[in-house]
Amino acid sequence: MRPFSGILDRAVAFSLDRLERLSDRRHSVAPLCKEPLGSDAEYLRRWHQAREAAYPAVDAFERACGAAIDPEWFHRLGLMTQVFIKQSPTCYQHGRLLYASLARYIRERCGRQLNIVETGTARGFSALCMAKALSDAGATGKIASFDVLPHDTRIFWNSIHDADGPRTRAELLAEYTDLIESYVVFHRGDTRLALRKIAFPRVHFAFLDSAHTYDHVMAEFATIGARQRAGDVLFFDDYTPDAYAGVVRAADEICDAHGYVPTAVAAGPDRQYLIAEKQ
């Protein structure tokens, strides 16, 4: 059986690598848009609407955590990485919740190297909010961030910077190079395959924000959940029943079956998040 087992393992590895290469090619050519979608004035209009809106539940969560991200730093990052041309209103309040919940975790539970996993890097906004929490707390750690979008290929990002031409994610985030080099490692690939690259024996904090389906969230949890212990955190983006029923179903099943205590926070009627702590 041993020789056959080795052949089977190599065949599975070859198939997974081939699927990963196909996914990489599919997402390398204009994955978000083929040209700039709006004027600077339109991006700025959406940005001003987002930053001037009131989010009382998010404010209350920050107070409960005893931590809040610097608003000027936060909104500047939001303009570059979270303001898109789309049908729904711009909202990037998950960055405040990520910062506050991670800062509380660092203060209350972790005095050592912190291991963080993010699925769904997109333009890098969430990874940088978590990196900011690590930096402000003087903590050590690494954020392994996964996405099918390329990091080193020049594309249009549906961003205010698109008027200057396509750029890589690294170029888009050039202002934050020091934070990235200190804390963030970008990985490319479908998380159902790419999460096998995680080298962390433990995942203290995880942000799940890739494909918003039940099967995808459960597949990600199968890798991440096995590496979490009491006190560790799962943060589910878009825990919104009417819009993402699969995310809600998966998050509820995970909390019920695996001993996570959930806290839901709303940033308006159509945007809700779930922060779950393992018991």
The CATH superfamily label for domain 2-278 reads Vaccinia Virus protein VP39 (3.40.50.150)
Q: Quick one: which of 223, 164, 166 has its CA closest to 193?
A: 223
Quote the pLDDT of residue 270.
Answer: 87
**Which residues does the chain have with pLDDT short of 70?**
1-30, 110-111
Quote the pLDDT of residue 112.
Answer: 74
> How is the chain split into domains, by residue range?
2-278
What's the pTM value of the predicted model, to 2 decimals?
Answer: 0.89
| Tens of pLDDT, residues 133-179 | 999 999 999 999 999 999 999 999 999 999 999 999 999 999 999 99
Whether residue 117 contacts residue 198, with contact meaning beta carbons closer than 8 Å, is answered with yes
Quote the pLDDT of residue 144.
Answer: 96
Quote the pLDDT of residue 15.
Answer: 43
